[in-house]
Amino acid sequence: MSNDPKLRVLVVGASIAGPAAAYWLAKAGARVTVIERFPQLRTNGQNVDIRGVGVTVMRKMPGMEAAVRAKRPPIHGLSFVDARGRAFATIKPTGNPDQQSLVSEYEILRGDLSQILFDLTKANDNITYVFGEQIASIEQPAPDTTSGPVTVTFANGRLPPSPFDLIVACDGSTSRTRALAFGCSAREHMHPTNWWAAYFSLPTALLPADAVAGSDPNLARAYNAPGGRLVCIGPDADPRTTRATIIGVRPRSRNLPAEILAFRAAAAQDHSSSTSSSPDPSSPPDSAIKSFITHHLTHPTRTPTWPRGVITALLAALPASPDFHATELSQVRPPRLWTSSSSHHAARVALVGDAGYASGASGAGASLALAGAYVLAGEICRALRLRRLHPRQQRRAARDSSGLGLGKVADGESGVEEGVLGWDGTGALLDAALERYEAVMMPLVAEMRRTPGFVGAVLAPQSAWGLWLRNWALWAVCRTGVSEAVQRFAAGAFAKREEAALPEYEWVE
């Protein structure tokens, strides 16, 4: 039994899900430690969208919506541009945050969103951030203990071995915490979508004038070439900088396409040089991925592709780009969103954000991370309230809450004693809360990450003929004004906000 009356939670990862989980868990009355593998908050990456349930949660966090609006990049819409540099179709935000288009009302740079969430949590007495740290091991205090805290040891000695009642994995799609918790490899529950993306900034002055001037300099521009190649460039708050995203899409297939295998091989090569004890000075960080991208942008096709000047500028900026980030866009689909035991230990671990439900190319990653953080903490808060009640009151509360797991626990199957519960009782209540977290999130995740197979073919056609057809169809859809309806059909993340309501919770702090 612990002397600390607060639930001790270790959150792994400080990007979007991590700080959001810390915010809500502290409101649920927990004491939260957040560890991040990198020595400081990572500010790279390009635009992420806040949609649907993400907007709902953002509006529950005082000050966040204003902060997001203040940081919104000056993007008025997205124009698709043909091989001769002419914009032929433009998609604009709807002006209604509750019904968003391909261009979100709440588009924000990932680094800015992470910073906003960090700023909302860093001064909280119940939240401690430790950068440059990761889990080394999870140990059982006693070999036969099946619930209660585990002792976590840390790899870099910035924290002493410490007991935690719950570990929340917010360490992204390749989560090592998920691998530890489920006793599997980091790749085990990752499903390829055959998309990859790279994000970086470049000096605007490198780009040809017609790529940044035109009718509206605040329109982002999308360029395509056959072979599933898409390049987007968009304005930054600082006009001297332009934001670039390069995307490669291969059709869905039974076997992994050669392009995805080549991407993975390059990423693995860069990873092993960056973690080597004797790094090769002639191969700077990310050099294998950057040469993969150079080949991707330059391999020839028989038809005219994209304006040469834009590609030349990207290639000139790529080697020295200070904020480069590249990733394969996978979906993460583990069988459960939590566990309270594995073959090695009985740690209670919950998966939040990309660690539990990375959504591939749906654009729902940040929104699901915000929603998951809120629901997890809300269900835990509800369970901890029950801990303070007399068992008779627990039974009544469980019946009233119609919580599936809570009902089971409160009906006496947890072995809880009369009066104030000990930590064993809390363990059972926690399990019930985690079960309910999963039950609330799973349908939401399924809906938000729904992206029909044709989305890749529309955004990045494979053949010159497909590209011609796509351009014609996009032109027609934008001309006739039915683009909003088409986009809603195309992705679950574009649904109306009220269609994805979240439970309301009563917080203790």
| Residues contacting residue 107 through CB under 8 Å, at least 6 positions apart | 47, 48, 49, 72, 73, 75
Return the number of the residue (200 or 410) whose C-beta is nearest ligand FAD.
200
Q: What Å distances lie between residue 257 and 217, 339, 460, CA to CA? A: 37, 33, 16
Shortest spacing between CB 250 and ligand FAD, in angstroms: 19
Shortest spacing between CB 509 and ligand FAD, in angstroms: 23
Asked if residue 358 lies in contact with residue 215, where contact means CB atoms within 8 angstroms, the answer is no
Residues 76-115 that bind ligand FAD (CB under 6 A): 110
Binding residues for ligand FAD, rule CB under 6 A, total 30
Shortest spacing between CB 354 and ligand FAD, in angstroms: 4
Residue 507 makes contact with ligand FAD by CB under 6 A: no
Return the number of the residue (18 or 378) whose C-beta is nearest ligand FAD.
18
Pairing assessment for the beta strands 241-249 and 107-109 based on DSSP bridges:
unpaired
Interface map 115-154 toward ligand FAD (x if CB under 6 A): -------------------x--------------------
Closest CA to 362 of 442, 457, 259, 447: 447
Shortest spacing between CB 170 and ligand FAD, in angstroms: 5
Shortest spacing between CB 173 and ligand FAD, in angstroms: 6
Return the number of the residue (16 or 502) whose C-beta is nearest ligand FAD.
16
Residues 308-367 that bind ligand FAD (CB under 6 A): 325, 353-355, 365-366
Residue 12 makes contact with ligand FAD by CB under 6 A: yes
Residue 449 makes contact with ligand FAD by CB under 6 A: no
In this chain, which stretch among 79-87, 97-105, 165-173, 234-242 interacts with ligand FAD, using CB under 6 A?
165-173
The neighbour count for residue 356, using CB atoms within 10 Å, is 31
Binds ligand FAD (CB under 6 A): choice among 36, 112, 165, 259: 36
Return the number of the residue (192 or 307) whose C-beta is nearest ligand FAD.
192
Residue 37 makes contact with ligand FAD by CB under 6 A: yes
Shortest spacing between CB 370 and ligand FAD, in angstroms: 9
Residue 42 makes contact with ligand FAD by CB under 6 A: yes
Return the number of the residue (170 or 428) whose C-beta is nearest ligand FAD.
170
Torsion (CA) 24, 27, 29, 34 in degrees, nearest 10: 40
Task: Tell me the two tokens of residue 169.
Answer: 């994995």
Residues 171-210 that bind ligand FAD (CB under 6 A): 171-172, 176, 199
Shortest spacing between CB 455 and ligand FAD, in angstroms: 15
Positive or negative CA dihedral for 190, 195, 200, 201? negative
Asked if residue 311 lies in contact with residue 474, where contact means CB atoms within 8 angstroms, the answer is no
CA distance 308 to 127: 50
CA distance 91 to 337: 36
Q: Report long-range pairs for 465-474 (Cβ below 8 Å, ≥24 apart).
A: 466/226, 467/224, 467/225, 467/226, 470/224, 471/80, 471/82, 471/88, 471/89, 474/80, 474/88, 474/89
The SS3 of residue 159 is coil
Binds ligand FAD (CB under 6 A): choice among 7, 9, 11, 15: 15
Full 3-state SS string of 331-345: EECCCCCEECCCCCC
What does 349-411 look like in DSSP terms, one character per residue?
Answer: EEE-THHHH-BTTSS-HHHHHHHHHHHHHHHHHHHHHHHTS-HHHHHHHHHHHT-HHHHHIII
Binds ligand FAD (CB under 6 A): choice among 10, 11, 17, 75: 17
Binds ligand FAD (CB under 6 A): choice among 22, 28, 45, 212: 45
Contacts to ligand FAD by CB under 6 A: 12-18, 35-38, 42, 44-46, 48, 110, 134, 170-172, 176, 199, 325, 353-355, 365-366, 369
